[in-house]
Amino acid sequence: MNELEAVALARYVRALCPQQKFDEYTPDAWHDVLGDYDLQDCKQAAADIARRQPWIAPAEIIDEVKRNRNGRLERFQYEPGHPDETSLQSTLRRRAQIADVINGLRPPEIPWIGVPRPTLELAAGVGREIPEEWEKPVTTRVRSALDVRCPNPACQADVHKPCTTPSGRRMTGYHGTRMDALKTGRGVA
């Protein structure tokens, strides 16, 4: 965050907490404390804190930013690259993906395949006859690349089975071609 962003943050916090005292030196002091953090992360943290209490301190903003960043990692799933990449390339790719998630960027999402189940319509019909059109199976979203057969010629892992390396070892992730097969719908179970 630069000095102008620190002024914007101080003004934002003042709007959130009008009873909190600010003077012309407050943005400078806040920049000294919060200069290493992103403005948008700090604004989100300030808004979260303002929902709980009437005053906001820079230390509370730092704690909330850290909590929000760690929360983003809870649903992180590593997307492996090319199956022939080295362990160094894999490590660098993983670190870059983690940094993107922490900074608010999302990893690629699995595309929606099919239609959602008519949940509200089904719930309304509890205890009643089920119409015939509801008895047909409804295509739902594929949730994982493991829901398709791996098209990699060296692997050919079945549906719901993990990918393997050319030496036969089980991989912790899956081949990139499996994600491609998922996006195109080839090999969906």
- Residue 60 and residue 116 in one domain: no
Whether the pLDDT of residue 167 is over 90: the answer is no
Pick from 89-103, 122-136, 159-173: least confident: 122-136
Is 87 domain-assigned?
no
Q: If you average pLDDT over residues 108-133, what whole number do you get?
A: 62
Is 52 domain-assigned?
yes
Pick from 9-23, 137-151, 161-175: least confident: 137-151
Q: If you average pLDDT over residues 1-22, what whole number do you get?
A: 92
Tell me how far CA of residue 115 lies from CA of 39, 138, 143, in angstroms: 38, 7, 13
Task: Please indicate whether residue 57 or residue 173 has the higher confidence score (pLDDT).
Answer: 57
- The single-letter DSSP state of residue 86 is -
Q: What domain count does the chain have?
A: 2
Q: Which domain holds residue 50?
A: 3-74
8 Å CB contact between 151 and 187: yes
User: What does the pLDDT read at residue 122?
Assistant: 65
- Residue ending a domain, among 51, 74, 97, is 74
Q: If you average pLDDT over residues 103-109, what whole number do you get?
A: 64
User: What does the pLDDT read at residue 90?
Assistant: 87
Work out the burial of residue 111: count CB atoms within 10 Å of its CB; fewer than 13 is exposed, 13-18 middle, 19 or more buried.
exposed
Is 99 domain-assigned?
no
Whether the pLDDT of residue 12 is over 90: the answer is yes
- pLDDT, one tens digit per residue, over 60-72 is 999 999 998 888 8
Pick from 80-84, 96-100, 169-173: least confident: 80-84
Is 102 domain-assigned?
no
User: What does the pLDDT read at residue 132?
Assistant: 66
